[in-house]
Structure 1
């Protein structure tokens, strides 16, 4: 019974350690995530700057996975080249070693102080970032306490014969140790946790240094597997280039490290003085050497990855390109992905407006069919984005994240409604006009074409406002609602004047003309509501007027 209780205690202390690592990472991501993402995007100019940017951001975030998701998003969208993206990942791998270096020192005495300070900041802090930093301090304290309790629990068993026999067998099989550690790091999504555990076991004399170093190699390999198996990288060859490149560099390093292991571990142990420091130093040196070897070779290496994984056009326009499921645990990255997908919806709606404008001008049935197909694309993208945003954990989101999520949902909902007006109303009216062989007067055509053109401009303004959230642009877009009402009113009056003077052929043409005017105004109302009101009201979308909603139910 005591043996089972001991195993339960050990499992609990390991869970405490893992939870401490998680709290540190999420706290930092909440406090600094958006700013670090911006800094990283600016710094990805060349491989050297990218290396140090990746190192610095990962040293703060303490998650090479988070850095990798940000960089992979930039690379997949073409905002950054593959060479600097690979350089940033080499830097990220070095950045994860810094907290291991800190934890290799005996600093457990400050753990209660860290927890106390963290709780005070979390409970008493008024600002959101103060509470987030409080979470970081609590996480660091729990991590240190977990390590201390784990080492205390393991100390009585260091001379156990059965344990020595098992570890001696593992010592003769470094390849098995690498596989075991890689599986643990893959399951935990953290090389830091596995290396820290290895360091704790080694400090108690439970692990020979050669086995500990093999476990470190496996931990570095395991965390590189996650991005390749999860999210959009599974299906998109272009998105797979960066995670595959990172995995292959680590695999090459592991193979070389395994070959040199028996020659390295004696002098590494003597140089460090104690086993914990030796493990931390080996972890750091491994990633530094890997960066030094691969950094000059990134240009031909990137060319090789492009040859292996050529870009392919998306066969399905309604299939989302940026909704990476692996980023759901990082709201700052996930919301950026959702925003990029939302801009695809804006481009799709822009194409629908162009086709409806041409169909109205030239009686082109093919344009009508293409616009209807694009409405199906719009509906599928809208559904995918809503599902993705709704799947994000609310507990991991800051108030700013929640506001941005509301803005994204308001934007895509109104774009989808605008597409429905085009599909179910405007295209039907144009189809009736063409089917019955009717035509508008030259003046009426010119008015409708001008309003159509103004809609396209307003859609571009709404998309820009969605990205910038600039209040001046919001006021300009909001003013377009009244402008469009005036345009519709003047066009209607002018139409009645032409009707009274006999310049309109039939009453049927007159009814269709008024219907098209109403449809264009309703589309504009949704464009204004998509971005102008959320920006001015802090994320809460103002509804379209009741008369517009009533028209939509006809």
Structure 2
């Protein structure tokens, strides 16, 4: 009983270690992973290399799979790209088994101590990330030590010995057991660690271990399919189906040759645990190489099985963010930033159309602004804010938390610009209803002020997009210049009113337009200040704010 609990406890520590290692790696390198993903093309070889590198780095194929589902749902990846990534990730998953097969004795205590020191006593955020990685390694090896020690005793029990012998002789039983256990614990890495631990304690034969690993490859698909079934995107379900096809095909190819394969693997190392890890590696590499030339055909087959639905062909409200991305915060933040810029670009267009509405009496431009504000800006901003709020409840680094707050703040400013363009469109409607006309001088002033506003706001959005401090500084200067233009325009308008040049009926729309444009520039200034606040402070001095 005690030894059984020790195996369960060791497996729990192993799982927690993998999770902590994955979290640390994601916080440390998640942004770079997103950059690599952005550079992917439709070439399967690049997608496969990305899948291999990302899985080896973050130590979680499930995390990568869920992230891909989100990107597929947001149309940021093609299905063919994702199939290439899956083939690459099959090789990346072998790193866990190879790491677990190392017998480091009691050296895992060093990793645990190092992790505690970095997490608790180092002031800088980056050291805490290193601490999570070290702690993850320590817990991983501690879990392996507990499992192998307990399994050595359990293997001597008659019932356990009979079961293990049966699995070694009946590979189908081993495959079934591996499938069921992996589906229950929802981690192929945990199953791999458990089988390697059994090898360390000599509690299993190599053929029985390989059968369990083959079953684990199928069991991990059950977890992914379950998640995909709750995803509204059929594209994500296609990806899950493609992964199932890849894994099941690999198992069916190897199963008839399991005994000869085991004899071949036995020559790679005298240590059974290392043999098991090598079998896992050789199997995954071989399957990936065999299936790689058929990426296009796998894609076409899955698309034929799951054709696009009518709902899927409808345009989505959001272009980038998707709830599945929340499993990888760095990806979620990058996509939220893209969604924010998409909203910003639309509001910049609305500023341009509001100029046409007011100065050129363009009724179509007026209607376009009103439709975009109600049908796009408001609902997308709500979705984006909810997305970031959900993300903030995740385990984020300090920098990621700050980034979330910044995106929320920027969203508020950009949404207010949308509201202000709606006001401008309403001023245009009132002006048209009252048949009021701007004087030639007023029109020229408005053209100048609109041009200045568009330049200021456009540069602010570019500064946010590129995180460019120089552009942000220029925006602040332009905003100050607008304040002077605003005061001059007001004074000249009052003079024209007194001289009877401007119609009193048009005065309200003119004055409110000036105030509204001034507020748009204020929000542009806020965007610029947000960019400057992210810049590192110079040594020995204060930051830009």
Q: How does the TM-score come out when normalised to structure 2? A: 0.86
Gaps in structure 1 of 5+ consecutive residues: 541-554
Q: Quote the residue 2:295 is aligned against.
A: 298
TM alignment of 1:43-54, pairs within 5 A: 46-54=43-51
Tell me the equivalent position of 1:101: 98
Q: Which residue does the alignment assign to 2:533? A: 537
For 1:517 and 1:476, locate their aligned partners in 2 and report how far apart those are by CA, in whole Å.
Answer: 21
- Assess, with a 3 A threshold, how the Cα gap between structure 1 residues 461 and 230 changes in structure 2: closer, same or farther: farther
Q: Work out the CA distance in 2 between the residues paired with 1:488 and 1:495.
A: 11
Give the 3 Å change call, closer, same or farther, for CA 116–366 of structure 1 in structure 2.
Answer: same
Q: CA deviation at 1:254?
A: 2.5
CA deviations on 1:451-481 (whole Å, 9 max, x unpaired) are 3344444443233222221110111122232
2:480 aligned residue: 482
CA RMSD of aligned residues (A): 3.4
Aligned residues: 534
* Residues 368, 427 of structure 1: 8 Å contact kept: yes
Aligned partners of 1:356 and 1:367 also within 8 Å: yes
* Bigger mean CA deviation after superposition, 468-477 or 396-405: 396-405
Alignment of 1:85-164 (within 5 A): 85-164=82-161
Distance 1:227 1:435 in 2: 59
Question: 2:97·2:189 contact (CA, 8 Å) conserved in 1?
Answer: yes
Tell me which residue corresponds to 1:552: none
Q: Deviations over 1:225-247 (max 9, x none)?
A: 65665489933345555554344
Does the 8 A contact of 2:392 with 2:401 survive in 1? no
Name the structure, 1 or 2, with higher relative contact order (CA <8 Å, separation 6+).
Answer: 2
Question: Are the equivalent residues in 2 in contact too, given 1:488–1:517 (CA < 8 A)?
Answer: yes
Q: Residue 393 and residue 414 in structure 1: after superposition, are their counterparts in 2 closer, same or farther (change >3 A)?
A: closer
Shift of 1:148: 0.9
- Of the candidates 498, 517, 520, which is equivalent to residue 520 of structure 1? 517
CA distance in 2, matches of 1:443, 1:177: 87
2:338 aligned residue (336, 340, 343): 340
For each residue in 1:348-407, what CA deviation from the matched residue of structure 2 results, as whole angstroms up to 9, or x when unmatched?
A: 323433443333245455544442332232222222222222223567322221222122
Distance verdict in 2 for CA 1:499–1:121, change over 3 Å: same
Structure 2 CA distance for partners of 1:266 and 1:331, relative to 1, 3 Å: same
Give the secondary structure class of the aligned counterpart of 1:133: helix
Distance in 2 (CA, whole Å) between partners of 1:478 and 1:270 is 70
* SS of corresponding position for 2:391: coil
Look up the SS of the partner of 2:501 in the other structure.
Answer: coil
CA distance 1:80–1:417, shift in 2 (3 Å): same
> Is contact 1:44–1:53 with CA below 8 Å preserved after alignment?
no
> What is the aligned counterpart of 2:251 among 254, 261, 285?
254
Moved more, 450-459 or 384-393: 450-459
Q: Which residue of 2 aligns with 1:448?
A: 446
- Which residue of the partner structure matches residue 380 of structure 2? 381
Secondary structure in 2 matching 1:213: helix
Q: How does 1:236-315 map to 2 (within 5 A)?
A: 236-238=233-235, 242-269=239-266, 271-302=268-299
1:433 and 2:431 are equivalent in the alignment: yes
2:417 aligned partner? 418
CA distance in 2, matches of 1:232, 1:438: 59
CA contact (8 A) 1:51 1:91 kept: yes
Partner of 1:392: helix, strand, or coil?
helix
Structure 1 residue 521 displacement after superposition? 1.6
Q: Do structure 1's residue 17 and structure 2's residue 21 form an aligned pair?
A: no
Deviation at 1:338, TM superposition (A): 1.4
**Greater Cα shift, 330-339 or 270-279:** 270-279
**Structure 2 stretches of 5 or more lacking a match?**
537-545
Deviation string for 1:216-273 (max 9, x for gaps)? 2233344456566548993334555555434432232133233433543344345544
The structure-2 alpha-carbon separation of the partners of 1:13 and 1:63, relative to structure 1 and needing over 3 Å to count, comes to same
Distance 1:329 1:539 in 2: 28
Closer, same or farther in 2 for the Cα pair 1:242/1:511, shift >3 Å?
same
Pair 1:326–1:495, CA change in 2 (3 A): same
Q: CA contact under 8 A between 1:471 and 1:535: conserved in structure 2?
A: yes
**Superposed displacement of residue 413, structure 1:** 1.1
Q: Residues 469-526 of structure 1, C-alpha deviation per residue, up to 9 Å, x if partnerless?
A: 1110111122232122223223223322332332223x22112210111112212222
**3-state secondary structure, aligned to 1:328:** helix
Pairwise CA distance, 1:7: 4.0
Deviates more, 1:351-360 or 1:40-49: 40-49
Distance 1:176 1:481 in 2: 73
1:148-183: CA deviation from partner (whole Å, max 9, x where unpaired): 112212222213233344446656775565455445
Seen in structure 2, the aligned counterparts of structure 1 residues 152 and 302 have a Cα distance that, compared at 3 Å, is same
SS of the aligned residue for 1:391 comes to helix
Deviates more, 1:64-73 or 1:155-164: 64-73
Aligned equivalents of 1:261, 1:398: Cα separation in 2: 45
What's the secondary structure of 1:427's corresponding residue? Answer: helix
Which moved further from structure 2: 379-388 or 303-312? Answer: 303-312
Aligned partner of 2:497 in structure 1 is 499
Deviations 1:91-113 (A, max 9, x none): 22212212311321322331112
Corresponding residue number in structure 1 for 2:542 = none
Task: Measure the CA separation in 2 of the matches of 1:196 and 1:20.
Answer: 11
Q: What is the alpha-carbon distance in structure 2 between the residues aligned to residue 469 and residue 199 of structure 1?
A: 47
CA-CA distance at 1:199 after TM superposition: 1.8
Deviation, structure 1 residue 147 = 1.1
Structure 1 window deviating more from structure 2 (156-165 vs 336-345): it is 156-165
Change (3 A) 1:381 1:223: farther
User: Where does residue 408 of structure 1 map in the other structure?
Assistant: 407
